[in-house]
């Protein structure tokens, strides 16, 4: 087991920059409720769809981490930029952390297992310890494919720049209401939705596959994250671009990837099925 993977966890060390930034964003999210406008809400919803659905689901997770499909490099870069606008860190950090999660899922070395407590799995691992957000060199060891590309190294180090630019544009052209809803509220909502995949879908839900971790499927987390809540399916078949494996498991990210494939933009799309067992195990009854 990698000792560096364990060193990322330190419940006694507070990441002050991250903690203060998240606190301010939460204050802004609450303030947004007092500056409501339909225009600001609509922009926030569209950006949530783009940044979480495209940036995290289609980009950071299924494309950059698991290489579940392939798209032209400019589109891959575009997805990565959208991913940074969630403030979940740069592409190398996100991919490295998620790969560590799969390697040590719910065991020592997992960056965010509920075995260390629900709060730790949800947000504690971000606030405490060595998050490694800007440690591009170290995190590249766990994502060498991205670490070899100058664009990803730059974007990982300066992952906050696209969000800062977006915030300035929203404030300049949309005013305070637009800034609070489309930046603060949208980011906070997106963060908690994504964190629920780390916490809730390793504690509550159903299990189709008898995986060696605690992963579960959660329909409501899937709705919040455009399909990421079918987490047991994903842990059973990590490289599958499809997470919702039956018709009623709504997976908007998968539908968008299939659309790209039909348009001739996406290729080498990997797809598992609900009856495809993990090697050496069986599908749960």
Question: Is there a domain that residue 274 lies in?
Answer: no
Could you tell me which residues come within 8 angstroms of residue 102 by beta carbon, excluding any fewer than 6 positions away?
A: 235, 238
Question: Is there a domain that residue 270 lies in?
Answer: no
Give the integer Cα–Cα distance in Å for 222 and 226.
Answer: 6
Give the integer Cα–Cα distance in Å for 186 and 52.
Answer: 10
Question: Is there a domain that residue 272 lies in?
Answer: no
280 backbone φψ class: left, alpha, beta (φ>0; ψ -120 to 50): left
Please answer whether residues 93 and 132 qualify as being in contact, where contact means their C-beta atoms are separated by less than 8 angstroms: yes
DSSP 68-103: -SB--HHHHHHHHHHHHTTTS--HHHHHHHHHHHHH
Give the integer Cα–Cα distance in Å for 39 and 177.
Answer: 9
Question: Is there a domain that residue 96 lies in?
Answer: yes
SS3 230: strand
Q: What is the pLDDT of residue 139?
A: 85
Q: What are phi and psi of 20, to 5 degrees?
A: -65, -45
Q: What is the pLDDT of residue 1?
A: 34
Please answer whether residues 222 and 250 qualify as being in contact, where contact means their C-beta atoms are separated by less than 8 angstroms: yes
DSSP 26-79: HHHHHHHTTS--HHHHHHHHHHHIIIIIIIIIIIIIIIIIT--SB--HHHHHHH
217 backbone φψ class: left, alpha, beta (φ>0; ψ -120 to 50): beta
Question: Is there a domain that residue 73 lies in?
Answer: yes
Q: Which two tokens stand for residue 88?
A: 């979940």
Could you tell me which residues come within 8 angstroms of residue 145 by beta carbon, excluding any fewer than 6 positions away?
A: none
Question: Is there a domain that residue 285 lies in?
Answer: no
Domain span including residue 102: 3-262
Centre a 10 Å sphere on the Cβ of residue 198 and count the other Cβ atoms it contains.
24
109 backbone φψ class: left, alpha, beta (φ>0; ψ -120 to 50): left
Residues paired with residue 209 on neighbouring β-strands, in sequence order: 283
Question: Is there a domain that residue 233 lies in?
Answer: yes
DSSP 251-267: -HHHHHHHHHHHTTS-B
In total, how many domains does the chain have?
1
Please answer whether residues 244 and 232 qualify as being in contact, where contact means their C-beta atoms are separated by less than 8 angstroms: no
**Tens-digit pLDDT profile for the chain (285 aa)?**
343 444 555 667 888 889 999 999 999 999 999 999 999 999 999 999 999 999 999 999 999 999 999 999 999 999 999 999 999 999 999 999 999 999 999 999 899 999 989 999 999 999 986 655 667 778 888 899 999 999 999 999 999 999 999 999 999 999 999 999 999 999 999 999 999 999 999 999 999 999 999 999 999 999 999 999 999 999 999 999 999 999 999 999 999 999 999 999 999 999 998 777 555 455 554
Q: What is the pLDDT of residue 138?
A: 81
Question: Is there a domain that residue 255 lies in?
Answer: yes
């Amino acid at each position: 087991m990698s000792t560096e993977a364990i060193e990322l966890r330190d419940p006694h060390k507070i990441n002050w920059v991250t903690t203060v930034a998240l606190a301010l964003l939460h204050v802004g999210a609450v303030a947004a409720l007092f500056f409501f406008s339909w225009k600001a809400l609509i922009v926030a919803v569209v950006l949530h769809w783009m940044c979480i659905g495209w940036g995290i689901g289609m980009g950071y997770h299924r494309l950059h981490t698991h290489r579940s499909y392939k798209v032209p490099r400019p589109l891959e870069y575009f997805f990565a930029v959208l991913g940074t606008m969630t403030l979940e860190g740069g592409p190398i950090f996100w991919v490295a952390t998620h790969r560590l999660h799969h390697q040590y899922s719910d065991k020592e070395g997992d960056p965010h297992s509920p075995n260390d407590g629900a709060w730790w799995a949800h947000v504690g691992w971000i606030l405490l310890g060595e998050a490694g957000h800007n440690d591009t060199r170290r995190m590249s060891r766990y994502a060498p494919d991205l670490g070899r590309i100058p664009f990803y190294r730059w974007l990982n180090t300066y992952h906050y720049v696209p969000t800062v630019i977006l915030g300035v544009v929203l404030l300049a052209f949309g005013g305070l209401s637009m800034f609070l809803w489309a930046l603060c509220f949208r980011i906070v909502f997106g963060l908690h939705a994504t964190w629920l995949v780390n916490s809730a879908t390793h504690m509550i839900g159903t299990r189709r596959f008898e995986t060696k971790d605690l992963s579960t499927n959660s329909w409501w987390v899937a709705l919040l994250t455009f399909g990421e809540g079918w987490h047991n399916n994903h842990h059973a078949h990590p490289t599958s671009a499809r997470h919702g494996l039956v018709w009623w498991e709504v997976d908007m990210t998968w539908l968008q990837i299939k659309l790209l494939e039909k348009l001739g933009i996406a290729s080498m799309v990997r797809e598992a099925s609900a009856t495809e067992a993990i090697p050496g195990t069986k599908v749960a009854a």
